[in-house]
Amino acid sequence: MEALQCWIQGFSVATLPINLLYAFIGCVLGTLIGVLPGLGPAAGTAILIPITFNLDPIGAIIMLAAIYYGAMYGGTITSVLVNVPGEAASVITCLDGYQMAKKGRAGPALGIAAIGSFIGGTFATFALMVVSLPLADFALKFGPPEVFALLVVGLSLVTGLSGRSILAALLMTLFGLMLAMIGMDPVRGAPRFTLGIPPLYDGVGFVPVVMGLFGVGEILLSMESPVVEVIKTKISDLFPKKEEWRVSAAAIGRGTLIGFFLGLIPGVGAIIPTFVAYVVEKKVSKHPEKFGTGVIEGVASPETANNSYANGAMIPLLTLGIPGSPTLAVLMGAFIIHGLTPGPFLFKERPDVVWGLIASFYLGNIILLILNLPLVGFWAKLLEIRYQYLYPGILLFCILGAYSLNQSIFDVGVMVVFGVLGYIFRKIDWPLAPTILALILGPMMERALRTSLEMSGGDLSILVTRPISAVLLIIAVIVLISPAIRLIGQKAGKD
């Protein structure tokens, strides 16, 4: 009964006209970010945080979340029409989506992607609604040692799963943790590594760092890539043929489940579920050889998976306070800026925010379906805007946004420095996700560790003598050493 009350409360918050408006604006901006290549959801959300500053927390969070999952819809459009993914989670869609467009079937490709996304997103939201309350209750039993162990698992998953080189990923994680050390010691309050610079007493600003690494860095890199031609195709008959429906239905079902369950694991990121979905689809298909030539299930399944993932990944964020991907880390930063800390406490303290947000996902998915089906032609038109006009505008917007955070020119400097760093790290292909997650999880980890040690009177064994924390730490160790073992295995094989 308690759950039902929560749901009703959520819908009553989400359907307030002002919150509907925020959800709508978020969906439009999200689709826009998805459509524009070179600007992913992490950068988009980070860049747009400053404009939510004066909104009330619920509206701001609803809007930023809508940008996040809206981008998953929009990314498809560029993948299909230009063969360039609008955001990384739509990379795999290029394979069959673009081929379909070449055959003049762009309409059904985009249509099935939107419908699949809607089904995946809605299912994941429903599951989120059902499991989050018991999970939050369970998480309340976590003491500081368990919280610390859980955060270690989150960070090691991000480290273990991102990029080709575990060493590079580890270094990037440490870089993030070092950045997180700057500022006031969270327990004793003594300033650390501030070099006597007053703005650093507050720590390195999370938002300018993300805007730099993801926003400015991505734009700098995109400016190097050549201009691409848009397929000039009439997008008609968005609805797939009867035959296409039959194969797509099962693909959408599988994509939904794959995306949702991978969403539960922090650190997986939005890209992996789409690849898994595509590979699974190819495996179960009766004609695997046709994949890559424009088969509709090759579009339906991954596109469903990335939306199902997007909403499913909200579960660890909301119930445990652990962001599974850089975009979610940015979203978590937005929560914190608005005075809310995601995690089990939030369910008790601000049920209106949590359930309002969850209910808004349903409405957002409906809004996105409407935006994407009839209006897809409009979004495709946007692709014709020349980048040389677009990018300077976005850069200007970044600078204004970074300044407006605290009216501090220091923050603008931080953003520029991290923009250059982001560009360099992309060039040498070092993953950025670990840095961002470490930056936001670092202070929480430090606090949990130190409180644990206060509880044990300085005895480190408290972390391994409590069963939940011991199991979690073992998982973390396995995650981190398995790539090393693989590496050694490969080397041995060569010899």
Partner 1 sequence: MKKGILINISVVLILGFCGLALALDYPTRPITLQVPWPAGGSTDTGARILASIAEKKIGQPIVVINKVGAGSQVGLTETARQKPDGYYLGFVSVPALNTIILDPERKALFDLDSFVAIINQVIDPGLIWVKADSPYKTLKDVIEDAKKRPGEIRASTTGILGDDHLAILMMEEAANVKFRIVHFDGGAHQLTATLGGQVDVSFDNVGSVMPRVKGGQLRGLAVMDKNRSKFLPDVPTTVELGYPTVISSSSRGVLGPKGIPAPILKKIQDVFLEAMKSPEHIEKMEKAGLAIVPMIGEEYAKYLRAVHERCKPLVEKARLAK
> Interhelix angle for 17-35 vs 2-14, to 10°?
80
User: Binding pattern to partner 1, positions 199-218, x when CB under 8 A?
Assistant: --xxx---------------
Chain-centre distance for alpha carbon 370: 23
Asked whether position 344 contacts partner 1 by CB under 8 A, the answer is yes
Contact 466, 145 (CB under 8 A): yes
One of 2, 4, 141, 286 touching partner 1 (CB under 8 A): 141
Asked whether position 366 contacts partner 1 by CB under 8 A, the answer is no
Asked whether position 400 contacts partner 1 by CB under 8 A, the answer is no
Least separation, in Å, of the C-beta of 137 and partner 1? Answer: 11
Asked whether position 193 contacts partner 1 by CB under 8 A, the answer is no
Asked whether position 349 contacts partner 1 by CB under 8 A, the answer is yes
One of 193, 229, 454, 486 touching partner 1 (CB under 8 A): 454
Asked whether position 261 contacts partner 1 by CB under 8 A, the answer is no
Least separation, in Å, of the C-beta of 313 and partner 1? Answer: 24
Least separation, in Å, of the C-beta of 490 and partner 1? Answer: 44
- Closer residue to partner 1 (CB): 203 or 298: 203
- Closer residue to partner 1 (CB): 448 or 473: 448
Distance in angstroms (rounded) separating the CA atoms of residues 216 and 214: 6
- Closer residue to partner 1 (CB): 176 or 321: 321
Contact 92, 302 (CB under 8 A): yes
Asked whether position 467 contacts partner 1 by CB under 8 A, the answer is no
Least separation, in Å, of the C-beta of 360 and partner 1? Answer: 21
One of 416, 447, 470, 471 touching partner 1 (CB under 8 A): 447
- Closer residue to partner 1 (CB): 141 or 232: 141
Q: Which stretch binds partner 1 (CB under 8 A): 188-196, 301-309, 310-318, 410-418?
A: 188-196
- Closer residue to partner 1 (CB): 163 or 186: 186
Asked whether position 56 contacts partner 1 by CB under 8 A, the answer is no
One of 163, 191, 351, 413 touching partner 1 (CB under 8 A): 191
Residue 263, sorted as left (phi over 0), alpha (psi -120 to 50) or beta, turns out to be alpha
Asked whether position 142 contacts partner 1 by CB under 8 A, the answer is yes
Residue entry with tokens 């959300």: 45
- Closer residue to partner 1 (CB): 190 or 428: 190
For 245, residues 6+ apart whose C-beta sits below 8 A from its C-beta are none
Contact 95, 278 (CB under 8 A): yes
One of 17, 226, 457, 467 touching partner 1 (CB under 8 A): 457
Asked whether position 144 contacts partner 1 by CB under 8 A, the answer is yes
Least separation, in Å, of the C-beta of 451 and partner 1? Answer: 6
- Closer residue to partner 1 (CB): 202 or 470: 202
Size of the site for partner 1 (CB under 8 A): 30
Least separation, in Å, of the C-beta of 454 and partner 1? Answer: 4
Asked whether position 340 contacts partner 1 by CB under 8 A, the answer is yes
Q: Which amino acid is at 275?
A: F
- Closer residue to partner 1 (CB): 153 or 462: 462
Instruction: Give me the residues that bind partner 1 (CB under 8 A), please.
Output: 140-144, 183-191, 198, 201-203, 339-341, 344-345, 349-350, 447, 451, 454-455, 457
